[in-house]
Amino acid sequence: DTAVSQTPKYLVTQMGNDKSIKCEQNLGHDTMYWYKQDSKKFLKIMFSYNNKELIINETVPNRFSPKSPDKAHLNLHINSLELGDSAVYFCASSQVTSGGEQFFGPGTRLTVL
Amino acid sequence: AQSVTQLDSHVSVSEGTPVLLRCNYSSSYSPSLFWYVQHPNKGLQLLLKYTSAATLVKGINGFEAEFKKSETSFHLTKPSAHMSDAAEYFCVVSESTGGFKTIFGAGTRLFVKA
């Protein structure tokens, strides 16, 4: 059973399009995250949701909008895609009481042409 | 404010020799500290974690790390490198309360030569 899953695994699209990435966790965790990993492997947190409420919103353009329909899902919608959005996006989850250990999804490689 | 510095962007060792990946951190709180490994084109896997219990932490695949508060360090070691250890390693600091805000180091790429 996959603990944290993301779809799609690869996403190739044109500039200006709108796209979504889905994330689901079956670990019963109460917190979910989105990270962006750039070409130099640097990982930066974008958003964090706890019990469906936005906890962390780093300086991310408002073209990025996370949506958490329930505790097990955190989707990422991106409007008006730009070349600089090309990266690998990782979803993760954790349980507050577990001391911050996060479980990561396999990543979604987004390429904007 | 939290920060984490991985002192080497890449480390190269021969198979069978020791591995040392260095990490320094700063945190306003009692931190939780983690090491994650990322193999090429894969997600991140937790190697080990420190959450204010024993200062010497043992992880998977023979890795261990020692929390040294006086040096604000959390270096990762392994006595004998294996070819399969070649990967990117990330040191991570997290606030102890809630653990919502995590800061990743820039990563250290480990090369293992036959």
pLDDT in single tens digits along all 113 residues of chain A? 679 999 999 999 999 999 999 999 999 998 999 999 998 888 988 988 888 788 777 778 999 999 999 989 999 999 999 999 999 999 999 987 766 789 999 999 999 99
For the cut 70, the answer to whether the pLDDT of residue B99 exceeds it is: no
pLDDT top residue among B49 and A54: B49
Of A35, A40, A56, the CB nearest to B101: A56
Residues of B in Cβ contact (< 8 Å) with A31:
98-100
Please give the Cα distance from A8 to A32 (Å, whole number).
18
Residues of A in Cβ contact (< 8 Å) with B35:
none
pLDDT top residue among B111 and B53: B111
For the cut 60, the answer to whether the pLDDT of residue B16 exceeds it is: yes
* A25 CA: distance to closest CA in chain B (Å): 14
C-beta separation of A13 from A81 below 8 A: yes
Does any CB of chain B come closer than 8 Å to the CB of residue A55?
A: yes
Name the band, by pLDDT with cuts 50, 70 and 90, for residue B97: low
C-beta separation of B59 from B65 below 8 A: yes
How far CA B63 is from CA of B20, B38, B55, B87, in Å, comes to 10, 14, 14, 13
Please give the Cα distance from B30 to B18 (Å, whole number).
30
Q: Are strands A108-112 and A10-13 parallel, antiparallel or unpaired?
A: parallel
For the cut 90, the answer to whether the pLDDT of residue B52 exceeds it is: no
Question: So what's the pLDDT on residue A53?
Answer: 81
Please give the Cα distance from B95 to B26 (Å, whole number).
11
What are the b/e assignments for B63-75, b being 16+ CB within 10 Å? bbbebeeeebbbb
The two tokens of residue B98 are 């809630």
The two tokens of residue B37 are 């490994």
Question: So what's the pLDDT on residue A78?
Answer: 96
The two tokens of residue A11 are 């996403």
Residues of B in Cβ contact (< 8 Å) with A55:
98, 100
Question: So what's the pLDDT on residue B100?
Answer: 64
Question: How many other CB atoms are there within 10 angstroms of residue B53's CB atom?
Answer: 9
What's the mean per-residue pLDDT of chain B? Answer: 90
**Of all residues in chain B, what percent carry a pLDDT higher than 70?**
96
